[in-house]
Amino acid sequence: MPLRKHRCRFKSYEHCFTAAEAVDWLHELLRCSQNFGPEVTRKQTVQLLKKFLKNHVIEDIKGKWGEEDFEDNRHLYRFPPSSPLKPYPKKPPNQKDVIKFPEWNDLPPGTSQENIPVRPVVMNSEMWYKRHSIAIGEVPACRLVHRRQLTEANVEEIWKSMTLSYLQKIFGLDSLEEVLDVKLVNSKFIIHNVYSVSKQGVVILDDKSKELPHWVLSAMKCLANWPNCSDLKQPMYLGFEKDVFKTIADYYGHLKEPLLTFHLFDAFVSVLGLLQKEKVAVEAFQICCLLLPPENRRKLQLLMRMMARICLNKEMPPLCDGFGTRTLMVQTFSRCILCSKDEVDLDELLAARLVTFLMDNYQEILKVPLALQTSIEERVAHLRRVQFQKSYPEVYQERFPTPESAALLFPEKPKPKPQLLMWALKKPFQPFQRTRSFRM
């Protein structure tokens, strides 16, 4: 933002700008940005500057901030002397207590090289095994290990921890504390969203009371398959499709919570910073959508499929006179998809950008990330195999023999020599000899 000298009430102020200059500059920046686009209005830019003023990104010329009283006028503003950004917390590296084993040349305290107490040691097999194990590093410390089975709770914890670890790696953060509350992540939701799906990849709910109402589902099928509405029994009239669309919009608009939930708001907004790398952003969206409650994920899947089909349907009549179909979809459903708990802090521009990206990539985003699923399944299978091996070593050895034990059980049989070769050794080849009959 360019800064210059301004005069106000017979007084000069250095390094400041007017509200109108801020709106002009930021509006042009948002219109040219890949994350927003030319559809950004001047009114939306003023709303964004109100958030900046409330959160002390800017302040008025007298140093006041904290309220959304920013208006498009000649009032003077400036940047605060210190940045309001909060850096992501960085956890210090885990300093593990390294157990230092005594060297063979180390002397006990209080002894010298000249006078070393020597006492005879009876070296039996057990003592030799202990010393040998310590010498080669097989015994790091003496501790009691309790064997336990891999329970369902353990499997759920593995799914949760590895999923969050993948998400943290994609974000490039040292911690997810600033993005989401890890305690609110439900591992059962992740497992259900991965395995309880139909052939089309849509989540199947166990509790049918959380399903979409039948009339809403019929209305969505009607518009998604327009004009071939197989479920429609009543006759259609002029403007019928607009009334059906309004019915769907009213239902989603009265949801108590947005589909992406309040506690995942910061996580999904953080993905917007990755949109320049589309493949990485899609992968981040995939994992974030796995954290949703199954009923939210199902409603989101059905809604995005309907929105995408309507936008691609050339036979669909205009659903609104003032907007195009794509713009209407984004403005109608952006708030019911993404919204913060504090409505004052809602950023409509970010919500619109997120919904637009969802519409363009919904088929990939709402798929289960195969690499993550395979990695977790292999981890669980490995732990179960190791646990079985520790609990039942004899049975494991019988079922999964080592190459050495397999060689003892199934010795290699000598290969028989070919019969042709044996015959050749007994009767060597003899050259052809003429007989008298040939001369006759």
pLDDT tens digit string along 389-427?
666 666 555 555 566 655 655 556 666 655 554 545 455
Residues 165, 42 within the same domain = no
Instruction: Check pLDDT > 90 for residue 376.
Output: yes
Q: Report, as an integer, the average pLDDT of 313-318.
A: 87
The answer to whether position 104 is within a domain reads no
Residues 26, 169 within the same domain = no
Q: Report, as an integer, the average pLDDT of 336-342.
A: 87
The answer to whether position 431 is within a domain reads no
* CATH code of the domain containing 35: 1.10.10.10
* CATH code of the domain containing 305: 1.10.555.10
The answer to whether position 225 is within a domain reads yes
- Final residue belonging to a domain, choices 341, 374, 407: 374
The answer to whether position 321 is within a domain reads yes
Residues 74, 168 within the same domain = no
Residues 28, 169 within the same domain = no
- Final residue belonging to a domain, choices 318, 344, 374: 374
Mind giving me the DSSP string for 98-164?
Answer: PPPPPPTTPPPTT--SSS---------HHHHHHHHHHHTTS-------------HHHHHHHHHHHHH
pLDDT tens digit string along 140-173?
544 444 455 778 899 999 999 999 999 999 998 8
Q: Report, as an integer, the average pLDDT of 362-369.
A: 90
- Final residue belonging to a domain, choices 60, 78, 96: 78
Higher-scoring residue by pLDDT: 414, 220:
220
Sign of CA dihedral 298, 303, 306, 311: negative
Q: How many domains does the chain have?
A: 2
pLDDT tens digit string along 110-148?
555 555 555 555 556 666 565 555 555 554 544 444 455
Instruction: Check pLDDT > 60 for residue 366.
Output: yes
pLDDT tens digit string along 11-43?
888 989 999 999 999 999 988 876 677 888 898
The answer to whether position 140 is within a domain reads no
Instruction: Give φ, ψ of 8 to 5 degrees.
Output: -145, 120
Residues 201, 64 within the same domain = no
pLDDT band at 54 (very low <50, low <70, confident <90, very high): confident
Residues 226, 338 within the same domain = yes
The answer to whether position 411 is within a domain reads no
Cis peptide before 227 (omega within 30 of 0): yes
Least confident of 44-48, 104-108, 298-302, 355-359: 104-108
Q: CA 341: distance to chain centroid?
A: 22
Residues 71, 164 within the same domain = no
Residues 65, 163 within the same domain = no
The answer to whether position 282 is within a domain reads yes
Residue pair 330/352 in contact by the 8 Å Cβ criterion: yes
List Cβ neighbours of 189 (8 Å cut-off, separation of 6 or more). 290, 291, 292, 293, 294
Least confident of 321-330, 368-377, 390-399, 430-439: 430-439
The answer to whether position 394 is within a domain reads no
49 burial via Cβ count (<10 Å: 0-12, 13-18, 19+): buried
Least confident of 152-156, 210-214, 272-276: 272-276
pTM above 0.75, yes or no: no
Residues 66, 162 within the same domain = no
Query: Which residues form the domain of 344?
Result: 153-374
Residues 335, 228 within the same domain = yes
Cα 227 to Cα 233, 236, 316, 319: the distances in Å are: 13, 10, 7, 14
Residues 172, 35 within the same domain = no
Residues 257, 348 within the same domain = yes
Least confident of 102-111, 193-202, 286-295: 102-111
